[in-house]
Amino acid sequence: FGLSNKFDTEFPSVLTGKVAPEEFKTSISRVNTCLRKNLPINVKWLLCGCLCCCCTLGCSLWPVVCLNKRTRRSIQKLLEWENNRLYHKLGLHWKLSKRKCETSNMMEYVILIEFLPKYPIFRPD
């Protein structure tokens, strides 16, 4: 369904001077913990759904779709919490985004880190 089982904790060079490497690693570790908690359950339901797919005309895959959606939502909530806690103050915005894989036509979810524009505070209204 496009969610990876963990995100890379390597500090990107573009964030040098913007975020402390420890803060970045802590945030990614929180996301990876959420994935580690939820994905084994999804895999078990996927296997069960695939085995029963013919008998149920595909309806046995609905729990997997719902669990995947719940996992995505929990990661989005976690990223929003991280944004409010730290990253918006630093002029950054983290979000979960869907993009096409480089090697195939499949879609995958990635964490995008966007730079927020700075507002001129000395400009008159």
Q: Structural domain boundaries of the chain?
A: 13-115
CA proximity to 116, closest of 96, 76, 87: 87
CA–CA gap between residue 42 and residue 66 (Å, rounded):
9
What's the predicted TM-score (pTM) here?
A: 0.79
Residue 28 neighbours by CB under 8 Å, 6+ apart: 7, 8, 9, 111
Our CA angle for 10, 73, 26, nearest 5°, is: 30
For residue range 47-103, what is the model confidence (pLDDT) as tens digits?
676 666 667 666 766 777 777 888 889 999 999 999 999 999 999 999 998 888 777
